[in-house]
Structure 1
Amino acid sequence: MTGNVTLRVLMEAAGLGQADLAKRLNGHIERLSGVPGTVSDRHVRNWLTGKTAWPQKRQREALEAEFGVSAENLGFTPLPPRTKLVPRQAAAGPDPSESLEAPLKRRTFTAAATTLAAAQLLPARAGARPRVGMSDVARLETAFHDLVTSDNQQGGSISLETRAVAFAQHALEKQKVGTTTSRVRSRLYYLAAAFTGTALWAAIDSHQPERARTHLRDALYLADLSGSSQMKTRLWLHASLLASQEPGGAREALDAAYEARSTYACRSDALLRSLALARLAGTQAHAYRGERRLGQAALGNIDGAQEAFATADRDASRPAWISFYDEAELQGLSSLVMTRLGRHAEAEAHLHKTLRQLRPEYRRNRMYYTATLALVQLRQGEVELACSTAERVGPRGHNPPAGRTGQLLIQFGQELAKVAPGSRCVADWKARYRLQGEHRP
C-alpha cells in the first residue's frame, strides 16, 4: 500500500494537521451542499496512508475547493469502472489489470500540472537509478515559469504556495533517486530554491509570516547549494519585505535589503540593481518616521534605481521571477517611497503612470496599486474621489481581498472613518465590505 505523498506535502506546506483539514473540509461540504460534513481525522489518515485511494464525491469536491486543484492532482487515484461478471467458460477478455494501468499512465508529469502525482515523489526501487538530465530540468523550469505567471495574474494564495512546495520537493527527489552531472545537480538546487522562494512570496503576499520564515530558511540554504547570486538577491529582497511586515522589524528589513543590494548579481546586472535599489528605498521610507537621514537616503536610492533601469540591457537573458519588473513596476515602487515620506501628490503622479503602463495580465498588481492610489487620494483630502477609486478593487458585498491588498483596504476604511465620520462615503464603504476593519485570516 502506497501513501499519498502529494497530499501530505500540501498539508505540511499549509500547516494543516489531520484534524485541522477535516474541520476545513466539513466547512466546504456544508457550503457546497447545505448539509454538514462528517469528515474526521480518521478519513484524512486513511487518505494519507493510501488505505482510501479515492474519497467519496462530496469529500473530493471539498478537497478540490480547499487546495484549488483536482482530486487526481492531489494524489488520489480514480477507481476503475465496474465490469459485469462473465461465466467461467466465456472467452478470456483483456487482462483486468489493464483497467488499473490506464489511469496511472495518464498521471505523468507535464508542464501544465498544477501539482505532482504521489508516485513521482517516491524514491525509485533499489538498484534502479535513472539518469536525470537537462530534459528533466527543462520540464521543471517550465513549471516554474507557469507558477510565476499564476502569481503575477492572481497573487499569492495557499494553492500557489502548496504547489510551489510540492515542485521544490520534486526537484530534490530527482537528485535522490537518479544520477546527475554537477551542472544538473546545481540547476536542480537552483530550481528547488526558486520554487521555495515562490512559496515564500505567496506566504508574504498572504500575510502568513510563520510559514514565510520556514520557506525563507529553506530557500536560502538551497540557494547556497546552487551557488546562484541571482537567487540570493531575490530571497534577500523577499526577506526584507517579510521583516517590514512584522512589528519591530525595520532594522532587520534594512539589513536584508542591504544584503540584496550587495550581491554580485546586483553589481553585474543593472536591472537587478535597479530593483534592489527601489526595494531598499521603499524599506528606508518604511522605517522613515521623520528621520531626515533615512528620507534622503530613500530619495537617493529611488533616483539610483531609475538611473540603473535606464542603462539596463532589456534583452539580456534573465530568470522568470524578475519578469514583473518593468517601467510600470518601477513607477509603482517609486509611489510607495513617496507616500511613505508623506509626498502624496508625487506618489499619485507615479501611480497614474503605473496603472497606465501596467500589463493587462497583472491583475494582482493592478488591484494593489489601485488600492494604494485610493489611500493616497484620501490623504490629500479627496474623499469622494478616493472612494470612487477604492470601489474599483473587488466586488460589492464581499470581504476585503486577502493579503496585502486587503490590508490596504482595511487601512483605507479606518482612515476614511476618521477623515469623514458620518458621511455617506463611510456608510457606503461599510455596506460594501461586511467585515470592514477586521483582519482576514
Structure 2
Amino acid sequence: MQANERLSSAMQESGLTQAELADAVNARLICDGHEGTVSDRTIRNWLTGKTRWPHPRQREALQAVFGCEAEELGFSRPARCPSPVSEPESSVRRRYFLTATTSAVVTPFVGALPQVGSSDVIRLRSGLDALTALDASRGGHEALERAALAGAAEALDLQKRAASQRLRQRLFSVAANYTASAAWSAVDARQSDRAHSHLNRALYLAGMGKDPVAELRVWNSHAMLAVHRGEYSQAVDAGQAAQATAVTRRDPLFASLAHARTAVGHSMVGDRRGALRSLGHAEEAMVKSATDESRPSWVAFYGPAELLAITAIVRDDIGDAVGAEAASHRALAAIPQQFRRNRALATLQLALTQLHQRDIDQACSTAAHVFALMEGSPLPGRMRSFLGDFHRDLITLAPDSGTALEWEDRYRSEWSQAR
C-alpha cells in the first residue's frame, strides 16, 4: 500500500488539515444535494493509499475542492472504470469553492470568465432547498453552516459579474438566504455569537436584494436567538420587526409567523395579556393564509401544526400547563413526519407540560421518546439545552422520585452518546 503523496502535497499547498478537507468536501456534497459523509478517517484512507479510487460523489466533490481531476491528486482509476465523457466543472467554480469553504489562498484564474445568468440563480436556489431538507432531518451542525456560507460567497462572487441590476438583486437575495441558513444552523447548534454575526450580515444582504421575505426570515431567527440568550425584550422587538416587513401585508402566513414569535417573547417577559393577544393575531392570520401559495422551502416548517407547538410553549410559560399539554398533543398529531427535529422538540415540550402538572412518570416516559425520534443523528445543541431544562425541572420538582432517578441515569447516558 503506497501513500498518496500528491494529495498530501495538494493539502499542504492549500493549507488544509484532514479535518478541514473533510469539512470542505462535505460542504460541497451538501450544496450538491447529498449527505456529507466524509470523515477524518475517509481522508486518512485517501492519504495512506488504502482507498485508491474514492466513491463517485466524494470524488466529484474532492475534484471540485481542488479544481483538478482525481488522477492529478494521486488516485488511480480502476481498469474496469471508464473515463468520463462529460466536460469537467469549470475550474473557476472549483477554485472559488475552495476559497469560500477553507479561506485558503489559491492562484487566481486568468482568462475570460463565464457569463452569469438566471440559470446560476436557479442552481443556487436548488442548493438552498437541499440545505433546508438536511436541517429538517438532522438539525443545525457545522458542515451545514459551512456549506451555507460557501453558497453565499459564490452568490456574491457571481453578483459582481451580473449583467443587470435585476440579476444582481436576485443574487444578493440568494446570498441573504444562504447566510440566513448558516445563521439558523448556528442558532440550532447553540453557537449564539456566530449566529448573531451571520444574522446581521444576512439582514444587510436582504436589504441589498430588496427581499422582504428574507428580511422576515432573519428577524424570525433573531427572535429565537434572543430567547435562547435570555434577552426576552429583544425577542419581542425582533418579532415586531418581523411584523413590520412588507411581506406580512400580502401573505397572512408570514404575518402569522411574526405574531407567533412575538407571542413567545411576550410570554418570556411575563406579559400574559400581550402573549395571548399575539397568539390570537397569529391564529387569525393562519386562517386567512392560502395553502397552495408558492413560498420558499425554509418556511415549509410553519403551518397550523407549528403554530400549535408554539402555542404550547407560550401557554406553558404563562402558567397554563393544561392548555399547553392539549396544544402539544394536537401539534404532534399534525407535524409532518419528515420534520423529525421539530417532532422531537414538540415531544419534549409535551413532557415539560406534563412535568409542570406533577405527572412525573408520564413526563419521563414522554421525554424518553425524544431519543428514539432522533436515533441515528447527534442531538442539535438547542435540543440538548432543552433536555437540560427538562432535567433541571425534574430534579427540582421530584428529587427523590424513583422514576426521576431512573430517567436521570438514562438521560446522562443518552446525552454522552448524542454529543
TM-score (normalizing by structure 2): 0.78
1:203 aligns with 2:180: no
TM-superposed CA distance for 1:279, in Å, is 0.7
Identify the residue that residue 398 of structure 2 maps to in structure 1: 420
Q: Which residue in 2 is equivalent to 1:21? A: none
In 2, Cα distance between equivalents of 1:180 and 1:403: 42
Amino acid at match of 1:157: H
Could you tell me which of 307, 313, 318 is aligned with 1:336?
Answer: 313
**Which residue identity lines up with residue 345 of structure 2 in the other structure?**
Y
SS in structure 2 at match of 1:211: helix
* 2:253 is the alignment partner of 1:265: no
Deviation of 1:7 after TM superposition, in Å, equals 5.1
* TM-aligned CA deviation for residue 423 of structure 1: 2.4
2 CA distance for matches of 1:125 and 1:117? 11
Partner of 1:73: 61
In the alignment, residue 163 of structure 2 is paired with which amino acid?
A: T
How far the C-alpha of 1:343 sits from its partner, in A, is 0.6
Aligned pair partner of 2:163 in 169, 173, 180: 180
1:291 counterpart residue number: none
Q: Distance in 1 between matches of 2:371 and 2:242?
A: 34
The within-5 A match list for 1:94-173 is 105=87, 117-118=94-95, 120=97, 125-173=109-157
2:104 aligns to what?
Answer: none
* Cα RMSD, aligned residues only: 3.7
Contact 1:397-1:434 within 8 A present in 2 as well: no
- How far residue 72 of structure 1 moved from its aligned partner, in angstroms, is 5.3
Structure 1 residue 265 displacement after superposition: 1.1
Deviation, 1:258, is 1.2
**Alignment partner, residue 244 of structure 1:** 227
Deviations along 1:303-362, one digit per CA (max 9) or x if unpaired, are 110011101122222222211111111111111110111111101111101100110111
Contact conserved, 1:373 with 1:389, CA < 8 A, in 2?
A: yes
The number of residues matched between the two structures is 373
Match in the other structure for 2:33: none
Give, in angstroms, the shift of residue 135 of structure 1: 1.0
Q: Residue 349 of structure 2 aligns with which residue? A: 372
Where in structure 2 are the equivalents of 1:368-407 lying within 5 Å? 368-395=345-372, 401-407=379-385
Percent of aligned positions that are identical: 33
State the one-letter code of the partner of 1:218.
Answer: R
SS of 2:412's partner is coil
SS of the aligned residue for 1:393 comes to helix
Change (3 A) 1:437 1:55: closer
Q: Residue 282 in 1 paired to residue 259 in 2? A: no
Q: Does 1:221 align with 2:207?
A: no
Which of the numbers 222, 235, 246 marks the counterpart of 2:218? 235
Deviations 1:145-179 (A, max 9, x none): 11111112221111211111111111112223x34
Q: Distance in 2 between matches of 1:129 and 1:8?
A: 26
CA pair 159-274 structure 1, distance change in 2 beyond 3 A: same
1:209 maps to a residue whose letter is S
- Residue segments in structure 1 that go unaligned for 5+ positions in a row: 15-24, 40-53, 85-97, 110-115, 289-293
Q: Among residues 287, 295, 304, which one is paired with 1:327 in the alignment?
A: 304
Task: Report the alpha carbon displacement of residue 118 of structure 1 after superposing the two structures with TM.
Answer: 3.8
What is the CA distance between 1:201 and its match in structure 2?
Answer: 0.5
Give the corresponding residue for 1:51.
none
**Residue 394 of structure 1 aligns to a residue in which SS?**
helix
1:197-240 Cα shifts (integer Å, max 9, x gaps): 01100100110011102211211111111011111111011111
Give ranges in structure 2 of 5+ residues lacking alignment: 1-9, 28-37, 100-106
User: Which SS does the other structure have where 1:333 is aligned?
Assistant: helix
Counterpart of 2:147 in structure 1: which amino acid? Answer: R
Q: Which amino acid aligns with 1:264?
A: A
Is the 1:400–1:436 Cα contact (8 Å) retained in structure 2? no
Q: Is the 1:281–1:298 Cα contact (8 Å) retained in structure 2?
A: yes
Amino acid at match of 2:405: A
CA contact (8 A) 1:10 1:166 kept: no
Does structure 2 retain, via aligned residues, the 8 Å contact 1:207–1:404?
yes
Q: Contact between 1:328 and 1:354, CA under 8 Å: does it hold in 2?
A: yes
Looking at secondary structure, tell me which structure has more helix per residue: 2
Shift of residue 57, structure 1, vs aligned partner: 6.0
Provide the secondary structure at the position in 2 that maps to 1:128.
Answer: coil
Q: Which has the larger radius of gyration?
A: 1
Distance 1:125 1:397, change over 3 A: closer
Matched residue type, 1:401: L
| Structure 1 position 8, deviation (Å) | 8.1
Shift of 1:424: 2.1
1:10/1:235 CA distance change after superposition, 3 Å: farther
- What are the Cα deviations for residues 28-86 of structure 1, in whole angstroms up to 9, with x where unaligned? 66xx9xxxx9x9xxxxxxxxxxxxxx6446899xxx9xxxx9475362563242899xx
